[in-house]
Amino acid sequence: MRILINALSGIGDALMFSPALALLKRNSPDTIVDIAVMFKPVEELFRNNPFVNNIYFIDFLKQSTLKSLKQTLALRKNKYDVSINVYPSNRREYNLVQFLEGAKIKLAHRYNHYSFTNWDFLNTKLIREVKDRHNTVENFELAKAAFPGIREQELAGLEVYLSEADRIFADKFISENGLERKFIAGFHAGSATFKGHINKRWSADKYAMLAQQLAEKYHAKILLFGTEADVNEKIQKTGGGNVFIPKTGSLMESLALMEKCSIFISNDSALMHLAAGLKIPQAAIFAYTNYKELFPWQNRHIIVRTELDCSPCFFNSPKPVKCIYDGDEKYKCIKLVEVEDVLKACEKLIEEIPRNVEP
């Protein structure tokens, strides 16, 4: 059998297919599994994955439509038995791409919101989206449609594969900055910006205050991750000499440095899921997205959020997030999360962490 996985929607979504990928490949080792991606970091993420045979990068966002169409139609020569649109992929463009790839069986989801506008009729089999079901399990259901014998109980954690070169880079950074045997906390204060998701970011000022308190109480050193330079520079300015912004050349180098962290604090973001794949204890700060569907999969974590009647209010659809409040109360779900709330989560996690570090 030959399968094509369309992991077009982003890093975190692609990563949450990795347990299903591993499970189907272990149950059918002779199956050829290829992946189509449109973001370079996703290509990096799967480059060392032992369950992937071929990766096809198509730059839909930057190159001409004609070139993208030619590359998509070229995949037809592989004569795939099955293609899968990784969950969530609730845009008509994803379904059109899958249709053009020409697999015999085309698997995707029927979404609870705005599914009628996304051309899901172009697929041959649709899996019904279930509210509050984790994205990893939604992806499992897609794989199960192709391999009915696999069992959800066998799903493992998110899978991240670092190279030796990535780990050498991280070791060098730690050594050059005098961080050996230091207690290191990783922060990701950013998030995606599409669909208005910049509004799920916890305040950079609050991250800076948290950095100060972790440094004072635990002699922590803080590593700031993500591409949001303005946010990270603001945190570093307040945090001072205990805060570092590593310069990395790739996603995988960043992940190798993340692996050095004893704890990870972040918004709901791709790096939150990557931290789960690296098995770093984490405090995950949520706003209006559904933590029941997006919590760090099979990893020690504490969710920090504000319980509101209106939250979660964001659903998988092409439409941007929209808050029912105005003025200072707009997106109060994230604004009401205080430094003390996140610090308490960190303290609880730190109590559980075996440490052999210097003050």
Residue 359 above 60 pLDDT? Answer: no
Mapped onto helix, strand or coil, the DSSP state of residue 77 is helix
Give the pLDDT confidence score for residue 109 in this predicted structure: 96
Report yes or no: 257 and 223 within 8 Å, Cβ to Cβ. yes
Say how far apart CA 241 and CA 178 lie, in whole Å: 12
Say how far apart CA 217 and CA 252 lie, in whole Å: 31
Higher pLDDT, 359 or 213: 213
Residue from 40, 14, 25, 255 nearest 136 by CA: 14
Report yes or no: 220 and 244 within 8 Å, Cβ to Cβ. no
Residue 353 above 90 pLDDT? Answer: no
Report yes or no: 281 and 264 within 8 Å, Cβ to Cβ. yes
Mean of all residue pLDDT scores within the chain: 95
- Residue 357: which pLDDT band, with cuts at 50, 70 and 90? low
Of 9-18, 36-45, 206-215, 346-355, give the lowest mean pLDDT range.
346-355
- Residue 299: which pLDDT band, with cuts at 50, 70 and 90? very high
Of 3.40.50.2000, 3.20.20.140, 3.10.20.30, 3.40.50.300, the CATH number of 2-154 is 3.40.50.2000
Question: What is the identity of the amino acid at 85?
Answer: N
Q: What percent of the chain has pLDDT over 90?
A: 92
- Residue 262: which pLDDT band, with cuts at 50, 70 and 90? very high
Residue 356 above 70 pLDDT? Answer: no
Convert the pLDDT of each residue in 159-196 to its tens digit: 999 999 999 999 999 999 999 999 999 999 999 888 88
Maximum mean pLDDT: which of 113-122, 290-299, 318-327 = 290-299
Say how far apart CA 353 and CA 346 lie, in whole Å: 11
Residue 75 above 80 pLDDT? Answer: yes
CATH fourth-level superfamily of 164-351:
Glycogen Phosphorylase B; (3.40.50.2000)
* Identical fold, 2-154 and 164-351: yes
Report yes or no: 86 and 139 within 8 Å, Cβ to Cβ. yes
CB atoms within 10 A of CB 342: 23
Kindly provide the residue ranges of all beta strands, DSSP E only, lying in 232-308, ordered along the sequence.
Answer: 243-244, 263-267, 282-285, 301-304
- Per domain, the residue ranges of the chain are 2-154, 164-351
Residue 52 above 70 pLDDT? Answer: yes
- Residue 115: which pLDDT band, with cuts at 50, 70 and 90? low
